[in-house]
């Protein structure tokens, strides 16, 4: 690889070649002939960064010149995935880059493997945020993200003795060449202290927050490039650092630990995603972490706003802020504090500004996920914010009482403060009261938000509540993740689907074309063969790409019902080994997902899956028909291997528990058929792809709600009635899959048969195995199966995050595209 000196900004192969060689020499300090895969990966990232920064600055200037209203997305998580490949594909230079590297003896796919997934998120919440950022940039929308620059992710998952083990996930070990440090825009963050009550010269109340400690929030920008490379927005992440203040007197007296305590504590704030709340310090750190995100974001947003606008009361005309779930709900109190205390805006006008600026997305129906903070803790950490929350609550409840139409019970349910069992601040309530829009993320979920979570608020403000069904970016999840299928689609209908997913409907007539179905099947088999190679290398288990690849890849939780899937696998295993049953098609069951470190049941479900895999994969009687694979450390880059290869997508949560789900969309657009309940976005997917192309089973939400309300669900009735259920549960209880620990999984037997079992595993089991029987029969007829698979891909246009973002922009944010001139 010869040395070269050249301009850095072009996208032609020669320009890219020059830049990569320049960075190897002058950024990495090596001769080009010495460069290995890791060096090339770093130089390639820096080369792209040069071009992205140019376009990011041009995008910023474009927004400023147009005085565009901007949207800022506040999220505790962003699950970006590897950025190098995504940037290459969105800039549409994968051909140039692949060819260039091949000339030098390198492989682009191998180079990309040297990048680690940024560990800035855990699940669907963070991945949705990343999809939204991609769509905003692709649509030329002035919108950016704010988050936390975690040093460690949730954890790196490994398996030892068939159990999940959590390892530190130091994702920055190799650095992240894409990010840009903005230390000159650091923010001083006050925390702790106390409030002194004073009087202003005009006689008004003047609170002074004093004796606070300070943290420093240092921003890092990650450029977010839209498809085509015309617009580059950014994700701004704040890392917590200590101030330069250092108490030398304490240090000189020999109390070194106390002297450095503040520095150590300060930097803990952004050390790890989701510190454990099982101890009081972890709970306190989590509250400080959420406040840190909010304070840094609001300070930065208003700083930018005031550079172009002198009147803070014009904020809602130029700024929209979206709260991604309850984690940033303190934004309501912080924005009020800034307006009332610092800008001296009268309360009523400040409240008007706040509510017109903020909007809130709810993402869960699980009561335990609706955050509440003890008043005592908030008073310690954020004394002024607690005062503001109490004042918001007082004024709000007084206005309700004046209407004379609500009783004491309703007032109690509307209050921002929960009084039972120790006073707590209800963060979801704060977000609802302080926002002009509250949305759910699927049609069913949005109805349940009004009916179950916030019925009193929905009655009070029916116009505030709306639905915005989630979507996924087709650039990451089809164009990049599945180049074989993407190429076939482009060959058949052109490439406009990349930015207009509704174009996929042009594939529907091709479902009747035998030649196209054969090509579609070949692409799917190639993806399965690729995954089979990966599985063999990483687990040592050999699987056939001619088997049904059945996948459940998501966070491990009881409501997502991995246990139901396990029960069906055990059912088939026992039929083959004890009844001589021969399945119509062989199956490989894939699991992927992490269990929260403190969630006993979820971790034991993983334990059971791994024990089951060990038994089944080692049993020669079933080796032709059945395999079980648990791929460790589920993340975006692993999902990109799994999803294109899936034949069957398991979306089997109990009806009424999943807000939306986006994994269901990723699998379906890649030609997998869904087996699922009428839950979350499954309902809308089934309507879109056609009932005949979706394997439905299970109770409906009203049926679940009725049985829960009446207490009429009796698991023992199903156990006694169905020998299939008895055989599976008895095998688990008797230690069939844990002979060295016979009682290891008896708790599952007891839990599933308890009258208070919330997730209706046994009630849905017989319908679930019947749906799987239909899958087996249909898959054994390739023309039938491939017709269904093609129609799944063809009819998924609605589920693009581009559509979702357009709806947010029009209905909630009031922002418009600002494309480059001439476009």
Identified catalytic residue from 654, 657, 662, 677:
662
Mention every residue, 6+ apart, whose C-beta is less than 8 A from residue 132. Answer: 73, 143, 145, 801, 804, 805
Contacts of 644 (CB under 8 A, 6+ apart): 481, 482, 484, 485, 524, 527, 531, 670
Residue 62 is a catalytic residue:
no
Contact 764, 563 (CB under 8 A): no
> Can you read off the two tokens belonging to residue 526?
């190639």
Q: Check 445, 666, 718, 736 and give the catalytic one.
A: 666
Q: What is residue 818's DSSP assignment? A: -
Residue 423 near residue 374 (C-beta atoms within 8 A): yes
Place of tokens 């912080």: 334
Number of H helices, E strands in the chain: 33, 23
Residue 363, Cβ density class (10 Å: 0-12 exposed, 13-18 middle, ≥19 buried): buried
Across the strands, what pairs with 800? 472
Which listed residue (112, 327, 363, 385) is catalytic?
363
Backbone angles phi, psi at 491, to 5 degrees: -60, -30
- When computed from its CA atoms, the radius of gyration of the chain, rounded to whole angstroms, is 28
Residue 30 half-sphere exposure, CB side, CA atoms within 13 Å?
16
Strand 163-167 to 319-324 pairing? unpaired
Catalytic site residue 662?
A: yes
Q: How far apart are CA 424 and CA 494, in angstroms?
A: 56
* Contact between 207 and 174 (Cβ < 8 Å): no
Residue 40 in 3-state DSSP? helix
User: CA of 417: how far to CAs of 151, 195, 393, 396, 596, in Å?
Assistant: 34, 20, 8, 12, 28
Vertex 86 angle, CA 180 and 271, to 5°: 45
Residue 31 bears catalytic tag? no
Catalytically annotated residue among 236, 475, 560, 587? 560
Q: How far is CA 150 from CA 305, 491, 749, in A?
A: 26, 42, 39
Separation between Cα atoms, residue 427 and residue 325, nearest integer Å: 10
What backbone torsions phi and psi does residue 473 show, to the nearest 5 degrees? -80, 125
Instruction: Please say whether the beta carbons of 226 and 140 come within 8 A.
Output: yes
| Spatial strand order in the sheet of 424-426 | 372-374, 424-426, 417-418
By the 8 A CB rule, do 253 and 229 touch? Answer: no
What is the rounded end-to-end Cα distance, in angstroms, of the chain? 38
Catalytic residue among 70, 468, 554, 635: 554
Candidate list 555, 557, 571, 788, residue with the active-site label: 555
Has 537 been annotated as catalytic?
no
User: Which tokens belong to 106?
Assistant: 């390198």
For residues 228 and 239, give the distance between their C-alpha atoms in angstroms, rounded to a whole number. 31
Backbone angles phi and psi of 668, in degrees to 5: -65, -45
On the CB side of 33, CA atoms within 13 Å amount to 1
Q: How many CB atoms within 10 Å of residue 281?
A: 12
The C-alpha angle with vertex 75 and arms to 285 and 653, in degrees rounded to 5, equals 95
Torsion of CA 388, 149, 361, 330, to 10 degrees: -10
Percent of residues in the chain assigned helix, strand, coil, to nearest 5:
55, 15, 30
| Beta-sheet pairing, 424-426 with 372-374 | antiparallel
Rounded Cα distance, 501 and 670, in Å: 13
Distance CA(634)–CA(614), nearest Å, equals: 20
Q: Catalytic amino acids?
A: 363, 554-555, 560, 662, 666
């Amino acid at each position: 690889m010869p040395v070269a000196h050249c301009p850095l900004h072009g996208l032609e192969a020669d320009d890219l070649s020059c830049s990569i060689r320049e960075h190897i020499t002058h950024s990495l300090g090596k001769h080009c002939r010495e460069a290995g895969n890791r060096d090339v990966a770093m130089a390639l990232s820096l080369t792209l960064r040069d071009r992205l920064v140019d376009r990011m600055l041009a995008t910023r200037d474009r927004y400023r010149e147009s005085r565009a209203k901007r949207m800022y997305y506040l999220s505790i998580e962003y699950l970006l995935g590897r950025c190098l490949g995504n940037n290459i594909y969105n800039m549409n230079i994968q051909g140039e880059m692949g060819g260039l590297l091949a000339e030098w003896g390198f492989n682009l796919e191998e180079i990309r493997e040297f990048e680690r997934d940024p560990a800035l998120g855990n699940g669907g919440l963070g991945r949705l945020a990343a999809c939204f950022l991609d769509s905003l940039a692709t649509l030329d929308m002035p919108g950016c993200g704010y988050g936390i620059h975690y040093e460690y992710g949730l954890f790196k998952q490994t398996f030892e003795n068939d159990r999940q083990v959590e390892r530190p996930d130091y994702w920055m070990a190799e650095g992240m060449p894409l990010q840009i440090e903005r230390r000159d825009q650091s923010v001083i963050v006050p925390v702790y202290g106390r409030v002194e009550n004073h009087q202003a010269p005009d006689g008004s109340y003047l609170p002074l927050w004093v004796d606070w400690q300070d943290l420093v929030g240092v921003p890092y920008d990650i450029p977010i490039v839209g498809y085509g490379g015309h617009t580059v927005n950014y994700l701004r992440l704040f890392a917590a650092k200590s101030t330069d203040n250092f108490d030398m007197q304490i240090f000189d007296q020999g109390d070194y630990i106390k002297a450095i305590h503040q520095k150590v504590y300060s930097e803990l704030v952004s050390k790890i995603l989701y510190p454990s709340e099982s101890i009081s310090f972890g709970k306190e750190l989590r509250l400080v972490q959420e406040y840190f995100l909010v304070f840094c974001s609001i300070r930065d947003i208003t700083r930018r706003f005031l550079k172009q606008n002198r009147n803070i009361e014009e904020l809602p005309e130029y700024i929209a802020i979206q709260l991604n779930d309850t984690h940033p709900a303190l934004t309501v109190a912080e924005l009020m504090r800034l307006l009332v205390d610092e800008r001296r805006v009268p309360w009523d006008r400040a409240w008007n500004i706040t509510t017109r600026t903020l909007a809130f997305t709810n993402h869960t129906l699980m009561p335990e996920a609706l955050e509440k903070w003890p008043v005592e803790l908030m008073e310690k950490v954020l004394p002024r914010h607690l005062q503001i929350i109490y004042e918001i609550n007082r004024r709000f409840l007084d206005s309700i009482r004046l209407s004379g139409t609500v009783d004491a019970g309703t007032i109690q349910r509307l209050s921002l403060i929960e009084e039972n069992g120790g006073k707590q601040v209800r963060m979801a309530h704060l977000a609802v009261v302080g926002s002009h829009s509250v949305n759910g993320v699927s049609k069913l979920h949005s109805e349940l938000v009004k009916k179950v979570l916030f019925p009193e608020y929905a009655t009070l403000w029916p116009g505030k509540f709306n639905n915005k069904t989630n979507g996924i970016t087709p650039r990451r999840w089809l164009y990049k993740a599945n180049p074989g299928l993407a190429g076939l689609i482009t060959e058949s209908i052109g490439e406009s689907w990349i930015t207009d997913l509704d174009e996929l409907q042009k594939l529907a007539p091709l479902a009747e074309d035998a030649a196209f179905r054969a090509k579609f099947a070949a692409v799917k088999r190639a993806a399965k063969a690729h995954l089979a190679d990966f599985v063999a290398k990483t687990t040592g288990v050999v699987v056939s790409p001619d088997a049904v690849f059945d996948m459940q890849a998501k966070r491990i939780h009881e409501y997502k019902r991995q246990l139901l899937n396990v029960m069906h696998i055990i059912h088939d295993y026992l039929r083959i080994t004890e009844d001589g049953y021969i399945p119509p098609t062989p199956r490989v069951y894939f699991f992927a997902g992490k269990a929260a470190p403190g969630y006993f049941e979820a971790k034991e479900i993983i334990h059971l899956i791994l024990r089951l895999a060990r038994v089944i994969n080692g049993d020669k009687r079933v080796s032709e028909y059945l395999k079980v694979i648990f791929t460790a450390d589920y993340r975006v880059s692993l999902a990109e291997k799994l999803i294109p290869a899936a034949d069957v997508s398991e979306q089997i949560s109990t009806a009424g528990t999943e807000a939306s789900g986006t994994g269901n969309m990723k699998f379906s657009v890649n030609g997998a058929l869904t087996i699922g309940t009428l839950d979350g976005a499954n309902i809308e997917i089934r309507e879109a792809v056609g009932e005949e192309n979706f394997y439905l089973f299970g109770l409906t939400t009203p049926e679940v709600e009725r049985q829960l309300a009446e207490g009429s669900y009796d698991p023992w009735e199903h156990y006694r009635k169905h020998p299939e259920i008895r055989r599976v549960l008895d095998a688990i209880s008797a230690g069939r899959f844990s002979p060295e620990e016979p009682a290891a999984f008896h708790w599952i037997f007891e839990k599933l048969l308890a009258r208070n079992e919330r997730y209706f595993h046994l009630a849905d089991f017989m319908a679930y195995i019947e749906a799987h029987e239909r899958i087996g029969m249909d898959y054994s007829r390739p023309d039938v199966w491939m017709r269904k698979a093609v129609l799944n891909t063809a009819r998924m246009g609605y589920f693009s995050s581009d559509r979702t973002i357009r709806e947010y922009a029009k209905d909630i944010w009031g922002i418009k595209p600002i494309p480059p001139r001439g476009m």
